[in-house]
């Protein structure tokens, strides 16, 4: 009554506040991660977009009645944010939108609201993915991928030191492994792989990799045949390896340290190979470029025969992502044209 008499904003009961359902969403995200249904990044991102001290959703909507929120309220918030923080990326804005909707979905599932208000997404400009040019997309003498492999091999023979850590054949094998397995060179994928998560399979010859906590969650991935040879060399270098030992750089328990070592060494390999920037996308190459190279190689070297759904599933991505970021930026080959013109039974 005092609030109403003073003309202040109407007090919202706690169980109907945006903050209450935001807290519920955080708890839900943590449960999904614990059950293995979502990647750990999901819970972290949810908390970031809700709790950011400057532009978090709880700061903007926490005290409001979730039953009264309309599309206009969110649009006003985004317009104000655009003026205050024009530097925020499109993906950040879209993640804010998704998190806002997820909070309202919790309220909807509780029967507190009937529908989630429309929240138009910001149109996102696709950033090209940098891949190392390879033959036959380029002439053999311009094959950047092979140049990188030669440079890594030479630096291992010379025992080159990078920040006090020697470059060994392990880096060469890691480059090959990423390119022939489609695994992301990140802490939760390539650097998390252990021997008990690798199985050799035949017909066709390949490795079966169990990615437990990848960027897109759990998956079992098939590799190309070349990855089998890499794994055999790894076992040869570590004959007494236990099933719980890491595949790459097993002497380093801190996997973030391993990631930094590989990134630094790969930059030196690029310099040695004379490979600097992606001429098409205008982007600098990183160790992550190997994953993009792996996907592009399958699209090109399969001569248009690869099943894009299987490729996406194996790489832990989506058909849409492959079409947006890879397929549409690759030149059409003669084999792809032939494949396009085939009829059933031919």
pLDDT tens per residue, range 40-86: 788 888 999 999 999 999 999 999 999 999 999 999 999 999 888 88
Q: Give the tens place of pLDDT for each residue, 255-305.
A: 999 999 999 999 999 999 999 876 655 678 999 999 999 998 888 888 767
Q: How far apart are CA 152 and CA 174, in angstroms?
A: 10
- The whole-angstrom distance between residue 106's C-alpha and the CA centroid of its chain comes to 26
Q: Give pLDDT, residue 94.
A: 87
Cα 188 to Cα 29, 40, 268, 295, 322, distances in angstroms: 18, 10, 24, 19, 21
Domain covering 9-109, topology: DNA polymerase; domain 1 (1.10.150)
Confidence of residue 127 (pLDDT cuts 50, 70, 90): low
The domain limits of the chain are: 9-109, 140-340
Compute the Cα dihedral for 143, 148, 150, 151 and give only its sign.
Answer: positive
Band of pLDDT at residue 10, cut at 50, 70 and 90: low
Which residue has better confidence, 10 or 55?
A: 55
What's residue 240's pLDDT?
94
Torsion sign across C-alpha atoms 109, 213, 206, 290: positive
pLDDT, residue 314, reads: 87
Plot region of 303 (φ>0 → left; ψ -120 to 50 → alpha; else → beta)? left
Distance, first Cα to last Cα, the chain: 80
- As a whole number, mean pLDDT of residues 131-155 equals 93
Query: Residue 221 forms beta bridges with which residues?
Result: 209
What pLDDT is stored for residue 3 in this prediction? 54
pLDDT confidence band for 340 (50 / 70 / 90): very low
Q: Which CATH architecture has domain 140-340?
A: Orthogonal Bundle (1.10)
* Averaged pLDDT score across all residues of the chain: 86
Q: What is the pLDDT of residue 2?
A: 60
Mean pLDDT of 115-124: 76
Query: pLDDT tens digits, residue range 24-34?
Result: 999 998 998 88
pLDDT score of 124 more than 60: no
Measured CA to CA in angstroms, residue 262 lies from 66, 178, 187, 208, 293 at distances of 47, 12, 11, 24, 17
Mean pLDDT of 185-198: 95
What pLDDT is attached to residue 5? Answer: 57
Maximum mean pLDDT: which of 114-123, 235-244, 335-344: 235-244
Highest mean pLDDT among 33-42, 302-311, 312-321: 312-321
pLDDT value at residue 262: 97
Nearest residue to 97 via CA among 129, 75, 65: 75
Tell me whether the omega of the peptide bond preceding residue 204 falls within 30 degrees of 0, making it cis. yes
β-partners of residue 284 are: 277
Q: With bands split at pLDDT 50, 70 and 90, how would you rate the model's confidence at 318?
A: confident
Q: Sorting pLDDT into bands at 50, 70 and 90, what band is 17?
A: very high
Intrachain domains 9-109 and 140-340 with the same fold: no
Mean local confidence (pLDDT), 95-114: 92
Res 14: pLDDT: 84
Q: What predicted TM-score, i.e. pTM, was given to this entire model? A: 0.67
């Amino acid at each position: 009554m005092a609030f109403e008499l003073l003309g202040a904003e109407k007090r919202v009961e706690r169980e109907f506040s945006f903050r209450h359902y935001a807290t519920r969403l955080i708890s839900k995200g943590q449960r999904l991660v614990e059950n293995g249904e979502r990647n750990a990044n999901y819970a972290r991102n949810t908390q970031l977009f809700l709790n950011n001290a400057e532009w978090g959703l709880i700061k903007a909507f926490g005290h409001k009645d979730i039953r009264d929120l309309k599309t206009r309220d969110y649009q006003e918030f985004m317009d104000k944010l655009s003026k205050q923080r024009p530097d925020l990326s499109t993906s950040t804005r879209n993640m804010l939108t998704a998190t806002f909707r997820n909070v309202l979905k919790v309220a909807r599932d509780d029967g507190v609201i009937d529908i989630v208000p429309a929240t138009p997404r910001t149109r996102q400009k696709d950033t090209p993915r940098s891949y190392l040019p390879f033959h036959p997309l380029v002439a053999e003498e311009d094959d950047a991928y092979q140049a990188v492999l030669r440079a890594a091999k030479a630096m291992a023979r010379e025992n080159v030191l990078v920040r006090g850590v020697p470059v060994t054949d392990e880096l060469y094998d890691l480059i090959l492994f990423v390119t022939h397995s489609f695994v992301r060179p990140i802490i939760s994928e390539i650097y998390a792989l252990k021997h008990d998560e690798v199985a050799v399979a035949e017909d066709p010859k390949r490795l079966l990799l169990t990615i437990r906590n990848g960027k897109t969650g759990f998956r079992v991935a098939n590799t190309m045949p070349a990855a089998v040879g890499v794994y055999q060399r790894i076992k040869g270098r570590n004959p007494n390896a236990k099933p719980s030992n890491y595949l790459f750089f097993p002497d380093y328990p801190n996997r973030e340290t391993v990631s930094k070592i590989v990134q630094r060494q790969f930059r030196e390999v690029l310099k040695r190979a004379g490979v600097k920037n992606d001429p098409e996308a205008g982007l600098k190459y990183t160790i992550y470029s190997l994953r993009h190279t792996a996907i592009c190689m399958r699209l090109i070297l399969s001569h248009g025969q690869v099943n894009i759904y299987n490729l996406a599933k194996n790489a832990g991505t989506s058909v849409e992502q492959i079409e947006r970021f890879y397929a549409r930026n690759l030149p059409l080959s003669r084999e792809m044209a032939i494949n396009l013109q085939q009829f059933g039974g031919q």
